[in-house]
Amino acid sequence: MDKEERKTINQGQEDEMEIYGYNLCRWKLAIVSLGVVCTGGFLLLLLYWMPEWRVKATCIRAAVKDCEVVLLRTTDEFRMWFCAKIRFLSLETPPFSSPKSMANEVSNGHAVHLTENLAEENRLEMNKYSQPQSQQIRYFTHHSVKYFWNDTLHNFVFLKGLDEGVSCTSIYEKHSAGLTKGMHAYRKLLYGVNEIAVKVPSVFKLLIKEVLNPFYIFQLFSVILWSTDEYYYYAIAIVIMSVVSIISSLYAIRKQYIMLHDMVAAHSTVRVSVCRVNEEIEEIFSTDLVPGDVMVIPLNGTVMPCDAVLINGTCIVNESMLTGESVPVTKTNLPNPSVDIKGMGDELYSPETHRRHTLFCGTTVIQTRFYTGELVKAIVVRTGFSTSKGQLVRSILYPKPTDFKLYRDAYLFLLCLVAVAGIGFIYTIINSILNEVEVGDIIIESLDIITITVPPALPAAMTAGIVYAQRRLKKVGIFCISPQRINICGQLNLVCFDKTGTLTEDGLDLWGIQRVENTRFLLPEEKVCNEMLVKSQFVACMATCHSLTKIEGVLSGDPLDLKMFEAIGWILEEATEEETALHNRIMPTVVRPPKQLLPESTPAGNQEMVQNCFKLDNTELFELPAIYEIGIVRQFPFSSALQRMSVVARVLGDRKMDAYVKGAPEVIAGLCKPETVPVDFEKVLENYTKQGFRVIALAHRKLESKLTWHKVQNISRDAIENNMDFMGLIIMQNKLKRETPAVLEDLHKANIRTVMVTGDNMLTAVSVARDCGMILPQDKVIIAEALPPKDGKVAKINWHYADTLTQSSDSSAVDSEAIPIKLVHDNLEDLQVTRYHFAMNGKSFSVILEHFQDLVPKLMLHGTVFARMAPDQKTQLVEALQNVDYFVGMCGDGANDCGALKRAHGGISLSELEASVASPFTSKTPSISCVPNLIREGRAALMTSFCVFKFMALYSIIQYFSVTLLYSILSNLGDFQFLFIDLAIILVVVFTMSLNPAWKELVAQRPPSGLISGALLFSVLSQIIICIGFQSLGFFWVKQQTWYKESHPHSDTQEAFNTTGSLYGNSSHLYNETNPDRHNIENYENTTVFFISSFQYLIVAIAFSKGKPFRQPCYKNYFFVVSLIILYVFILFIMLHPVASIDQILQIVCVPYQWRVTMLIIVLVNAFVSIVVEESVDWWGKCCLSWALNCRKKMPKAKYMYLAQELLVDPEWPPKPQTTTEAKALVKENGSCQIITIT
């Protein structure tokens, strides 16, 4: 049965979980109920905080198939527990007996198949999901996702849409007809309502959840305890603090919920038209959409309520909500493999692979283009939280916990305080019993020591520094949605940068073109807009091969396409909706040169005439005047996976159509006939890319005359994009932002590594990295070119040294494999001194991740340039860097970086668009200068957290020791003494010491990541010893004084005052007669301990308020300085010059003036010793730590540091040129590989 008891769901995915089945047990429930009553509800709270304990305490194990409750545990490093109740869904609603109704949900819950015997298939399908007897499906909901029991797989599965396991052929053949109403109703039952429901919890619900936080429960316990001991004032003060804290917390949480709800709800319910099987159009609410519905996209556009694949027509879409890029994107219909010349019937549809044919939820369709008689249609593939937008919202609603050493150490430290409190608890009980104290008093005093040791104000004090840092970040234009990450940013030691729009300017400038004629490159030309070139194929390609469109009369689209089109000065005209409706085919977009470039031509014919011409397929074309216009017949949009785009166009009057393609030069060259590519292509390309230019190649070919307009509309791009003629290069200049080099230099000085992650060409990226100082002039660049297994050969990596390529003057290409060995050895002699960097593209990165796992950490240690990276590869890179213990920052413009921004320890988006909602930080100004600002503030906040933690620890121990000393004589601190210490001293100091701003520049030194570090522990322990020592000195010394008289509860301690001759003593005596000192507060020991401890709090506050190198000096924190001065003056005044009313309130006794001076001397010596020890603690801490490390020969904790030490003595690393690293034929789990030198 053990196998049935434990299953794994979402296997291999990010949210993989183990699942255990349980059934409710009545006798266990009865015992727990009894326990809850006996513990006064505390057991119920404990079970509320611990889902695992709750389920195990009230249930017994059962098979997952038959269980009533499931217990889930994540398989990541956090191992978090969740529980969910099993629910049942009845399947008896739709009329399945009807042969027209369609009901076949396959075992993974995603595809729908149109077959002849639908009723039979439906019956089989229902059996897969449901119990045969009950006809009910068992399911549970976790994090807004439903998991259904699948009898075929014997597991719970997430109900998918048409986004997995469905071929492109079946999209057309089985899904394009639409659903019957019966099938729609059945699916609605399974998939539920199509909405991304972000419910804003009521204030009451949020309040209950917040109040049940362990911290507030402890505060409630403290308040009740103090009230029973008549400490009403402090109890009220803590209640007020807690109420303020709860209200501010509720306001922040509710504000975030409302913001997210508004973002989602703005367009959650719209009316949409769907096609049914009998071709009727039905209007329904978008919330009723289900996967398989055929949705009609309206002419004037809409906001997409789901993810859908386009099967008819073309759409222009604004995807800024998802990608952060406001450039309109053209979406075309999914290629239909059944009518393609080159069949692709086996290709599976995937929303990511087929992004250019998929309309994503939340994106705005601006315009549609359509066929007359045929509407623009899209098949719904995902709904609700399964959509891309739904997944984004889920990641915000249910974020992964931040794992940071500081927080782990904080819990460990609290446990230590609890242990100390336990010792005090036992001591108090034993001491009280020995002194025959009443049972009620023993219970209150022993519990009171716990509330003293674990201060209720600690969490509020810890968050103060983060709140102040958040405010300072806001002032410099950085907004934060995850304040806890500010501390983590103080630890960043590596930052990944996107290139375009982040390191460089957004726009590209056309530097020039270099055409090819007779397979030879011509000289570069700067001007493209001239009469000589106007009718050339090169300019025709520039005029047609783009995704530009007119929105409200303004040309818009990709910035690169815009620059290219503006450079030739042509005019683009699109058919209006009325013109399109008049014709029986989709109207082409027409481009033509301006009149001045065609002086010999007659005035251009009207659009109607041109488009009538394009209507004709095989008929003779009319003889037209000399109008030179080109119609774009079919467009294959740019694909980042293919690194190219292409169009089919026809010049007015030509019988044959033309295919134009543009894209990455190395890709385009591979699609061209080898004889058309110049022999020096690689050399010319390298020359440009090394200078940092962005290079785009163009190619062309005439299509066969048999290719009709109709065939072109359904042809696959592979059939078009081959056998091309290479036409030349467009050279674009992407300038560095002015601030980029200075910012990167600051980061390097601070020992923070910088990495470039871009979608651009490798050598361009390397060149930009050199220009901006990411790679220094003397550094080596090693390009890792990884090739996947092919034709029975194993995967391999070829290593090239980019900078050993000699700048040869002859025209032959320089092959990196042919570098002379001597030159290589000469350059590698000083490799131990010379730094080296690895550069690779996305394809190589994927191959290395899959086949060379043991090389990944080594490459992460020195990998600097990652080019042609897809969005998911950027995320994988961040993960790989984190796996070697780097604290990774990511800075991007949000365009393709959403995943990486979320995954990084500190992701900062330079885009204010909605996509940046996934990023913890957003910069108002699109400049990377925000990165050093964020790290500086992070370091300041982290150091503030350490200072506050150390101070609160000392506050706990000082007060704990004061109370323990006083308990030994059956005394305690008075109510107003506690109030003065906790409110006037502690809270004021904590909230003002956190105000130190960040240091003005980044330094190479990094703050410690956790509380458990040598210097920090040495600092805390030394201050504890000093404070305990001086408190003990005062406590025992006062007993040695000649005027000292021991006091006991209810005794009159005032007789001694008469011997001093003080008039004040008489008034105090009168007060004492009317208010007997039941708690024995007013005694010499109490007064001495109170004054010394009050000064000690202020002394450690000054000692711990360190400034440089992470924070501004404490004397620049004016609020802190003023607060300390006021407190020092006040305490000195009441100590040296007693005021009757103050002494009466604070329950201080009058002591001889000589003893007051003695206390002042004790305090001054204490201050001197504390500050001297704290100032020397860094030096002593380092010495002790280095001595300990030398003794133990301890390896560095961070994996990357350990690896760096290993690689220093590795003679085989870095790899030399002319070597290849091959994966072993049978790759084992560790991904072992060997280096083979190719001679």
Distance, CA of 232 to CA of 21 (rounded, Å): 49
Residue with tokens 């949480």: 253
Q: Buried (b) or exposed (e) across 1160-1191, using 16+ Cβ within 10 A? A: eebbeebbebbeebbeebeeebeeeeeeeeee
d(CA 798, CA 1236): 10
Burial of 1083 (0-12, 13-18, 19+ CB in 10 A): buried
DSSP code of residue 688: H
Measured at the CA of 983, the angle between CA 981 and CA 984, to 5 degrees, comes to 70
Looking up tokens 């169009």 gives: 647
Q: Which amino acid is at 10?
A: N
Q: How many CB atoms lie within 10 A of CB 614?
A: 21
**Best CA proximity match to 891, nearest among 764, 740, 1009:** 740
Can you say whether residue 271 is alpha, beta or left, with left for phi > 0 and alpha for psi between -120 and 50 degrees?
Answer: beta
Rounded alpha-carbon distances, angstroms, from residue 706 to 6, 28, 611, 632, 1076 = 62, 80, 20, 18, 114
Residues sharing a CB contact under 8 Å with residue 659, sequence separation 6 or more, in sequence order:
646, 647, 648, 649, 700, 701, 702, 703, 720, 721, 724
Give phi and psi for 599, each to the nearest 5: -65, -30
Fill in the DSSP letter of residue 435.
Answer: T
Between CA 1109 and CA 998 the distance in angstroms is 9
Residue from 498, 558, 803, 982 carrying the catalytic annotation: 498
Q: Any idea which residue has 């998911």 for tokens?
A: 872
Per-residue b or e along 1097-1122, where b marks 16 or more CB atoms closer than 10 Å to that residue's CB: bbbbbbbbbbbeebbbebeebeebee
Please tell me the total number of residues recorded for the chain in this structure: 1239
Is residue 885 part of the annotated active site? The answer reads no
Give the whole-angstrom CA distance, residue 295 versus residue 365.
Answer: 13
Pairing of strands 549-551, 725-733: unpaired
CB 724 within 8 A of CB 750: no
Cα 310 from Cα 307, distance rounded (Å): 10
Q: How is residue 508 written in tokens?
A: 């590209």
- C-alpha distances (whole Å) from 1074 to each of 473, 762, 1070, 1139 are 57, 89, 7, 20
The string of DSSP codes covering 563-604 is: HHHHHHT-EEE---HHHHHHSSSPPPEEEE--GGG-TTSPPP
Looking up tokens 């040294």, which residue turns up?
801
The values of phi and psi at residue 1138, to 5°, are -60, 140
Structure-block tokens of residue 449: 């020591």
Closest CA to 567 of 510, 523, 524: 510
Torsion of CA 435, 436, 439, 440, to 10 degrees: -70
**Rounded CA separation 824/838 (Å):** 17
Peptide linkage before 857 cis (omega within 30 of 0): no
CB atoms within 10 A of CB 619: 7
Nearest by Cα to 801 from 778, 822, 817: 817
Question: What amino acid positions are annotated as catalytic residues?
Answer: 498
